[in-house]
Structure 1
């Protein structure tokens, strides 16, 4: 019989995978990996804000991640060179967050939970928040799916179809900020981007359509969650990083299968 905390952990990871799968597909298609990193690193600054203002951790994370995402989207729309800008913003947000958290001595010992996640400590309240956030992200992506695909394929085509690419970019960044807020408890700020990118990259070589890639990424994320939790139990390794290790193994298998199909 599985313990309750394991069931909650598995449900939390699967719920997160439902959101990171289709969202990660857009991150891969649009080459927004560093953008996801910047938004995820801002989560630590959100933790510091929440501690300083007595807000719930998820609320503080959502506020700061949204501010970071909107700022980066605005700079991208103005034509800024994003590699350097994202590097500065990502690492600055992480550093400011770590410095801010250091002013709360009681939290220092729990800092690894914010950096690498603490999925085994997910409560029923956390589980409800994760599934509610994942449902909101999936609903948003389903609502804007065709417009998002069109603007991802070509901004000129989007304009010709009456779609505003800047609006669709904003939809994606808001979905990413919400995903970061609910993912912090599961995989931590340093591994959220990996959960977005690796399952989607693994699904890309196996899928035959955009919808197939999005669904495949969600499935791979769920499988990686369950396999990572099992690995954590067997080897007494950190659960969050173990999930990413499992996702990386699936990616390696997917890449091998893709090469075999081309051979």
Structure 2
């Protein structure tokens, strides 16, 4: 039973953080089975190893694999410390430079409004999956939050969910409903992000067509961006016609809670 529990913890930490599983095994090996307060010591060792690795070692090793930590600025921030603590904030240098440029330009046009990023990529190894995403495995991809506005129509940095995912801008009755199409085809996972919100908040804000459209256009203005994913009804609502805006497919998850874009 203990072995099974260790396997589950190892798998979970690996899926969430890439490096956590290995560090968990090391923490087990460093503390003898006969040691007093074995569990507390292992947790302590793991916490120290993980924090040292995440903030001191990984950022210096990742460039060997062609990736680097996202360089946050006053106008480019992670939605949650989780994305940084879980090592899900690594991109290729070219993308790092590009997202910084987009965030800076967006703030110049909309004073004080930040570009908020969600999942990007793990620091090591191409094709290593960053679940639940299908394609965030090569340093070229990143998700960012939609833009919202307050009751006065002014743009705000507030978001509708704690994680940044799962708070959908659903299709209206008159809009094409790709979500329903995918679900009817048996793609149950398409609607899965609704379980990843970690709580819905800020009921007083609403989706900003103007702000989100402007951000999408700034992204597409960059020649090195190859694709942008957003749900079809939002593409139409925002009157976005650039051919680099693609449908991500029913095998993925819905994109009316965030924008995904990637390098060529």
- Quickly name the TM-score band, shorter chain normalised: under 0.3
- Point out the structure with the larger helix share: 1
- Point out the structure with the larger strand share: 2
TM-score (norm. length: structure 2): 0.27
Determine which structure has greater relative contact order: mean sequence separation of CA pairs < 8 Å that are 6+ residues apart, divided by chain length.
1
